[in-house]
């Protein structure tokens, strides 16, 4: 049991630690029945580290942090066992020190996660955008601004966990570096942009949604021209087409040195609270039963029923609409 988990367990059992007058030993205060032999053994093993943390003040900071996380979870009706807390903390790079917040999924996110887990090779809720830059310097500038945007918004620093937990949760990381991979492609196999798009297309590629941020980048460079192609993948659990537009606008302002004009970021937990705590599940169910109670058969596209495929046999056709008709549809 490392120090973070030990701190968590002591906090859960309302056990307080302090230094003795000579500052060379631990003073333990709590209910006798809370001090199990196993816990006492862990305290003995961690004694030097605990004393050092108490002297530096780091121990109290860890206690405050764990209490804040547990309190945030309780406000949404979430309660975790020690093993579950350990699983959550160990899933985050940097452990508990890198966890900013924990709360459940919004209802729409629950549906998206369901389809993500149901899917096979690809992911229907993985979006992508292919960008081109005329130099590596411009690409690096874009990626630096992208990281600034991720640092601003907690939903962009969120990973989703579900294994071994009472319900899926989203965990906000304090630091979530954007993962960008450079890919070596052979121009003889075709245009690099097309190769990049095909290799990391959502129909055949998935990202690990447990790891923040829920976006990934893949870069290929043309040696002769220095042109750089960036395939960005975004998961719909955190970003949709509308927010992607806002994100790119924010990156543009950051690159132009106008970051001070950006509005303050809004905590995503407020949206989750509005969706989860504003109206009860029973009220939602009653409303939709009243609206859709007469529907007796599934509303299937093109009459397809019982179909579950990877999209490989789907044919696409496109038709450009007039601006007037597009406006009416919107």
pLDDT digits over 4-21, tens only? 677 777 777 778 888 887
Confidence label for 319 from pLDDT (cuts 50, 70 and 90): very high
- What are the CA-CA distances from residue 136 to residues 141, 143, 145, 200, 223 (Å)? 9, 10, 14, 21, 11
Topology (CATH) of 107-277: Chloramphenicol Acetyltransferase (3.30.559)
Query: Count of CB atoms within 10 A of residue 62's CB?
Result: 20
Confidence label for 311 from pLDDT (cuts 50, 70 and 90): low
Q: Residue 270: enclosing H or E segment and its boundaries?
A: helix 268-277
Distance CA 194, CA 144 (A): 25
Chain centroid to CA 291: how far? Answer: 34
Confidence label for 309 from pLDDT (cuts 50, 70 and 90): low
Task: Give the model's pLDDT for residue 254.
Answer: 92
Residue 174 has pLDDT above 90, yes or no: yes
pLDDT digits over 109-123, tens only? 999 999 999 877 888
In the block, residue with structure tokens 């696409």: 316
**Torsion of the alpha carbons at 80, 85, 87 and 91, rounded to the nearest 10:** 120
Q: Where are the domains of the chain?
A: 3-75, 107-277
Q: How many residues does this entry show for the chain?
A: 330
Confidence label for 218 from pLDDT (cuts 50, 70 and 90): very high
Distance CA 298, CA 301 (A): 9
Structure tokens at 133: 């830059």
pTM: 0.78
- What are the CA-CA distances from residue 292 to residues 201, 282, 287, 297, 301 (Å)? 36, 15, 9, 11, 18
Residue 132 has pLDDT above 90, yes or no: yes
DSSP letter string, 183-227: ----GGGS-HHHHHHHHT-TTT----TTSSSSEEEEEEE-TTT--
Backbone angles phi, psi at 66, to 5 degrees: -65, -40
84: exposed, middle or buried (Cβ count in 10 Å: 0-12, 13-18, 19+): middle
Mean pLDDT of 26-51: 81
């Amino acid at each position: 049991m490392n120090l973070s988990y030990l701190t968590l367990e002591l906090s859960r059992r309302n056990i307080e630690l302090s230094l003795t007058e000579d500052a060379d030993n631990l003073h333990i205060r709590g209910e006798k029945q809370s001090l199990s032999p196993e816990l006492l053994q862990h305290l003995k093993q961690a004694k030097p580290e605990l004393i050092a943390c108490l002297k530096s003040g780091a121990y109290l900071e860890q206690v405050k942090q764990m209490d804040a996380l547990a309190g945030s979870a309780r406000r949404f009706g979430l309660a975790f066992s020690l093993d579950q807390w350990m699983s959550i903390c160990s899933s985050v790079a940097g452990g508990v020190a890198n966890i900013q917040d924990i709360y459940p999924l919004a209802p729409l996110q629950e549906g998206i996660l369901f389809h993500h887990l149901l899917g096979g090779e690809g992911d229907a809720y993985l979006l992508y955008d292919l960008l081109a830059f005329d130099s590596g310097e411009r690409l690096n500038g874009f990626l630096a601004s992208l990281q600034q945007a991720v640092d601003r918004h907690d939903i962009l620093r969120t990973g989703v966990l579900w294994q071994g937990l009472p319900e899926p949760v989203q965990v906000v990381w304090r630091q979530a570096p954007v993962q960008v991979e450079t890919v070596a492609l052979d121009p003889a196999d075709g245009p690099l942009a097309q190769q990049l798009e095909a290799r990391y297309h959502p129909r055949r590629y998935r990202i690990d949604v447990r790891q923040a941020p829920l976006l990934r980048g893949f870069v290929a460079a043309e040696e002769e021209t220095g042109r750089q192609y960036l395939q960005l993948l975004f998961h719909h659990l955190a970003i949709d087409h509308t927010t992607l537009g806002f994100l790119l606008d924010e990156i543009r302002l950051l690159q132009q040195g106008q970051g001070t004009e950006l509005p303050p970021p809004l905590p995503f937990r407020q949206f989750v609270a509005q969706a989860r705590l504003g109206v009860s599940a029973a009220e939602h169910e009653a409303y939709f039963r009243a609206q859709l109670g007469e529907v007796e058969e599934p509303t299937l596209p093109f009459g397809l029923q019982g179909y579950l495929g990877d999209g490989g046999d789907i044919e696409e056709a496109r038709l450009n609409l007039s601006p007037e008709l597009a406006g009416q549809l919107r």
